[in-house]
Amino acid sequence: MRRALRQEDQLEWDRLFETARLHIQAGMYAAAPEPKESIYLTMLLGLSKRVSALEAENKALRAQLQLPEPAPVQLPVPITFNQPRLLPAENDDEDDDH
């Protein structure tokens, strides 16, 4: 796939995989049956770290220039994450009786 990308996109592609290589120890420790998951997660970790660094730099520059803080980003719909339950809840037995 890399060869099909434009040259500037190939550079970003290489950066993403370099991030994955930097965290290969964590991926090996996880020993996931599908190694792609570890690669993708470490790529996301690297991107998240870059975003955090840019946010910190932006905040420092705003303070230096005495600019007001930007309004927080409002998501159009609240996001909730439902964790799958591994064990039944204590009151699940009561619900079965009804």
pTM assigned to the model: 0.61
Predicted local distance difference test score (pLDDT) of residue 91: 62
Domain count, the chain: 1
Report the alpha-carbon distance of residue 36 to residue 20 in Å, rounded: 10
Contact 27, 38 (CB under 8 A): yes
Distance CA 77, CA 67 (A): 29
- Give residues with Cβ within 8 angstroms of 95, minimum separation 6: none
The answer as to whether 72 is a domain residue is no
What is the tens place of the pLDDT at every residue in 40-90?
A: 888 898 899 999 999 999 999 999 999 998 888 787 777 677 766 666 666
**Residue 44 counted as domain residue:** yes
Residue 74 lies in a domain: no
Domain hosting residue 20, numbered range = 1-67
Neighbours of 42 (CB within 10 A): 21
pLDDT tens for each residue of 28-42: 777 767 778 888 888
Q: What pLDDT, on a 0 to 100 scale, did the predictor assign at position 58?
A: 94
- In a domain, residue 95? The reply is no
Could you tell me which of 5, 29, 30 has the C-alpha nearest to residue 16? 5
Inside any domain, residue 60: yes
One-letter amino acid for residue 66 of the chain: Q
Return the CA Rg of the chain: 21
